[in-house]
Amino acid sequence: NAGVTQTPKFQVLKTGQSMTLQCAQDMNHNSMYWYRQDPGMGLRLIYYSASEGTTDKGEVPNGYNVSRLNKREFSLRLESAAPSQTSVYFCASSGSGQGALQPQHFGDGTRLSIL
Amino acid sequence: AQRVTQPEKLLSVFKGAPVELKCNYSYSGSPELFWYVQYSRQRLQLLLRHISRESIKGFTADLNKGETSFHLKKPFAQEEDSAMYYCAPTTYSTLTFGKGTMLLVSP
């Protein structure tokens, strides 16, 4: 049972470089989410996708773009990385029906450092 | 605006002591309440949700709608309970996490 799989696990970028973080889930969930986790800030929602073909901004979307490629995959792109985007990024998914009222299942995270 | 507050960044107790991790929220409507836990080197996972009325690993959480609180409690803490705990009120549109409380249980 893979659940939610994120790649890569670690990445170091230079300021201005671009990168796509990949996320896939094998639980047939409709909803998928991207969060960032920073010390003292908890988890903050970047973008979410309530269903295939839809995406919506969360609390901190600036500097990011997302693509819901299909029901399984939800990618997060940094077009021009900035040091302020150094963080741990978590992808999550939740079941269908009542959408966000279902518990979320998380990936292991991607630790991203931007120099 | 939706808001959730976990007032303690760190809670340190001895094994066998009671534990209460506080969570207060300010939300429009009636959110569903969740507690998530992140053990060292593990992924974030659901601990319990209010609607289930369950006791997971000895933890319970009481929803007080008047005070808009959802505190997590355990009568006798164990060393393996050491982890980061997040309170997460949820509506149909999204989920907001508190900033988390680190629980350290010492022998």
pLDDT value at residue B100: 94
Whether the pLDDT of residue A5 is over 70: the answer is yes
Render pLDDT for B16-27 as a digit per residue (tens, 0 to 9): 999 999 999 987
Given its phi and psi angles, is residue A109 left (phi above 0), alpha (psi -120 to 50 degrees) or beta?
left
Render pLDDT for A57-109 as a digit per residue (tens, 0 to 9): 998 999 999 999 899 999 999 999 999 999 999 999 988 665 557 888 999 99
**Smallest Cα distance from B78 to chain A, Å:** 24
Closest residue in chain A to residue B90, using alpha carbons only: A101
H or E element, residue B49: strand B45-49
**Smallest Cα distance from B19 to chain A, Å:** 21
The arithmetic mean of pLDDT across residues A40-48, rounded, is 89
Phi, psi of B52 (to 5 degrees): -80, -20
List CB contacts (< 8 A) between B92 and chain A.
98-101
Render pLDDT for B52-106 as a digit per residue (tens, 0 to 9): 777 788 999 988 878 789 999 999 999 999 999 999 988 766 678 899 999 999 9
Tell me how far apart the alpha carbons of residues B102 and A30 are, in angstroms, rounded to a whole number. 31
Answer yes or no: are the C-beta atoms of A99 and A50 closer than 8 Å: yes
Contact A100 B95 (CB under 8 A): yes
Contact A107 B43 (CB under 8 A): yes
**Smallest Cα distance from A60 to chain B, Å:** 12
Collapse the DSSP code of B50 into the 3-class scheme (helix H, G, I; strand E, B; otherwise coil) and give the result: helix
The arithmetic mean of pLDDT across residues A24-50, rounded, is 91
pLDDT value at residue B30: 75
Tell me how far apart the alpha carbons of residues A21 and A114 are, in angstroms, rounded to a whole number. 14
Of B29, B25, B10, B16, nearest to B92 by C-alpha is B29
